[in-house]
Amino acid sequence: MKDKDIEGLKEAGRASSLALEYARSIIKEGASMLDVAQRIEAFIKEKGLGLAFPVNLSVGSDAAHYTPGIGEKREFTAKDLVKVDLGARRGDLLNDCASTIDLSGEHGKLVDAANEALETAINMVKNGREVREIGREIERIADAHGVKPIRNLGGHGITKTELHAEIFIPNFDNGDSTALEDGQVIAIEPFMTNGEGYVEDGENVEIFQKTGSNPVRSREAREIAGFIDSSYGTYPFAVRWLGKEMGKLSEFGIRRALAELSAAGDMEQFPVLREKKAGFVAQAEKTMVVDGDSCIVLNG
Which residues are identified as catalytic?
85, 96, 156, 164, 189, 285
Q: Is the Cβ–Cβ distance between 253 and 261 less than 8 Å?
A: no
Amino acid at 267: M
Q: Do residues 37 and 77 lie in contact, with contact meaning Cβ atoms separated by under 8 Å?
A: no
Instruction: Count CB atoms within 10 A of the CB of residue 292.
Output: 11
C-alpha distance from residue 280 to each of 83, 156, 173 (Å) = 11, 23, 22
Let me know: does 216 contact 222? Beta carbons within 8 Å. Answer: yes
Pick the closest to residue 102 from 90, 113, 117, 118 (CA basis). Answer: 113
Phi and psi (nearest 5°) for 190?
-70, 135
Distances (CA, A) of 130 to 34, 56, 125, 137, 280: 40, 29, 9, 12, 29
In sequence order, what are the residues at sequence separation of 6 or more whose Cβ sits closer than 8 angstroms to the Cβ of residue 206? 54, 65, 66, 67, 68, 69, 238, 239, 240, 272
Calpha distance 122→201 (Å, rounded) = 29
Among 83, 102, 144, 142, residue whose Cα is nearest residue 118: 142
* Share of the chain residues as helix, strand and coil, in percent rounded to the nearest 5: 35, 30, 35
In whole angstroms, give the CA distance from residue 138 to residue 174.
12
The DSSP element (H or E) to which 57 belongs, if any, is strand 56-59
Contact 67/43 with Cβ under 8 angstroms? Answer: no
